[in-house]
């Protein structure tokens, strides 16, 4: 089982200035935060499992476009007709094993569908965000559509399966690649100006 890593606010940068430069520091922090915030957008996609053969695929790690999938049970099963996938406790034939999906880049707008529910099936889905910090969890208790858009930027998903039934099948795991994070064009010039202003203040105090 993957251990949870909890996190709160992420500190992107700290600027320490004298009291006379508080206004300048606030301006710099505002511009800096504008540059590091993720923009929502990009092209939607669905995880592509076409490289897997229909039936049992023994192994624990599977590299597919945009993600690395880990089958904790020792195999991934792909239903030939529907294309649904599940993690198998190999060689037992069921879908009641943990599954991890690590996206190769941060994503947003994640959603998926489940099928194959039987009495006793239960999965605790742990959602990890920027910096691989746990941002929340979702209880999967039946067949249906699960929308994770509210979690924002996602780096990985861990399906902690405690099913006593057959287990769940997963389908249509969709996502949007988060754009690269640009720095504002004027940030280097602004920081240079702040440094020069701070040096001037020190000279005046020395005088």
Predicted pLDDT at 102: 98
CATH of domain 44-177: 2.60.120
Query: For residue range 136-160, what is the model confidence (pLDDT) as tens digits?
Result: 999 999 999 999 999 999 999 999 9
pTM of the model: 0.70
| Domain assignments of the chain as residue spans, ordered by start | 44-177
Question: What is the average per-residue pLDDT within 106-126?
Answer: 97
Question: What is the average per-residue pLDDT within 46-53?
Answer: 96
Q: 137: burial class by Cβ within 10 Å (0-12, 13-18, 19+)?
A: middle
Is pLDDT at 167 greater than 90 in this prediction? yes
Question: What is the average per-residue pLDDT within 162-185?
Answer: 86
Task: For residue 101, give Cα distances in angstroms to 89, 130, 156.
Answer: 17, 15, 6
Q: Percent of the chain at pLDDT above 90?
A: 63
Helix (H, G, I), strand (E, B) or coil at 87: strand
Segment among 22-26, 54-58, 108-112 with least mean pLDDT = 22-26
């Amino acid at each position: 089982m993957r251990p949870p890593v909890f996190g709160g606010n992420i500190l992107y940068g700290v600027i320490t200035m004298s009291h006379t430069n508080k206004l300048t520091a606030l301006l710099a922090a505002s511009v800096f935060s504008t540059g590091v915030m993720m923009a929502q957008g990009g092209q939607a996609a669905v995880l592509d499992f076409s490289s897997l053969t229909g039936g049992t695929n023994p192994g624990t790690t599977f590299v597919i476009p945009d993600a690395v999938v880990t089958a904790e049970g020792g195999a991934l099963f792909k239903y030939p007709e529907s294309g649904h996938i599940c993690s198998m406790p190999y060689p037992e034939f069921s879908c009641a094993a943990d599954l991890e999906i690590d996206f190769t880049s941060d994503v947003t707008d994640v959603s998926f569908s489940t099928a194959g529910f039987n009495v006793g099936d239960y999965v605790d889905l742990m959602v990890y965000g920027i910096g691989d910090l746990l941002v929340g969890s979702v209880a999967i208790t039946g067949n249906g559509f699960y929308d994770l858009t509210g979690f924002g930027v996602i780096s990985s998903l861990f399906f902690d399966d405690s099913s006593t039934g057959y287990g769940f099948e997963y389908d249509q795991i969709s996502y949007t690649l988060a754009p690269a994070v640009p720095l504002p064009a004027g940030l280097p010039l602004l920081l240079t100006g702040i440094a020069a202003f701070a040096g001037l203040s020190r000279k005046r105090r020395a005088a």
